Amino acid sequence: MTVQTDLALNNVLIDMARSFLQYVAESWPWVSPDGQSVENQVLVIAERQRQDVADIAALLNEREHFIDFGSFPTEYTDLQFIALEALFEPLHNSQATVLASIANALEQARTSGDTEAETLLTAIEIRQKEAAAALKELQQELDKQSGNAVKS
């Protein structure tokens, strides 16, 4: 373990804890009755991301590292009372930021020889890539339900 690795872990924690996915989960996006199952699945993905945040927090706490949970970016506050369909592009962008942060922290852990952090980050990276893929599938499902063209 190194201070740089712990800082990189905390950066990942902030990026996930204050991701757009977490904001959407807290902001109650509008969905049609047909889209209710998609909304529920988005909330499940957000809950899984919160568990990854908790896992990082537990490791940092075990290492007695100060934990900064960050805050939501102010630009998110303009995105309330909006249909879930309109939120997928920012969700994908935010998830890409989370994955880049994980990749950076994983490289730091490998460079410093922090196998504990490397193992945790590798597992989190897999889950967050799965989350990104699931969000794309949900967008396609919602697009089909609303009759829109499927976006890639």
CA-to-CA separations, 86 to 33, 57, 101, 143, in angstroms, rounded: 16, 31, 25, 11
**Residue-wise pLDDT tens digits, 10-23:** 999 999 999 999 99
Mean pLDDT for the stretch of residues 24-40: 80
Per-residue pLDDT band for 1 (boundaries 50, 70, 90) equals low
**DSSP letter string over 34-54?**
GGHHHHHHHHHHHHHHHHHHH
Rounded Cα distance, 37 and 124, in Å: 25
**Residue-wise pLDDT tens digits, 33-68:** 777 888 889 999 999 999 999 999 999 999 999 999
Rounded Cα distance, 82 and 86, in Å: 7
Domains and CATH numbers, the chain: 2-150 (1.20.1260.10)
Per-residue pLDDT band for 128 (boundaries 50, 70, 90) equals very high
Cβ atoms of 50 and 22 closer than 8 Å? yes
pTM for the whole structure: 0.88
pLDDT reported for residue 84: 78
Q: When comparing pLDDT for 63 and 151, which is higher?
A: 63
CA-to-CA separations, 28 to 31, 81, 86, 134, in angstroms, rounded: 9, 7, 13, 19
pLDDT reported for residue 142: 80
Nearest to 55 by CA among 131, 146, 116: 116
Cβ atoms of 117 and 107 closer than 8 Å? no
**Residue-wise pLDDT tens digits, 67-110:** 999 999 988 887 766 777 888 899 999 999 999 999 999 999 99
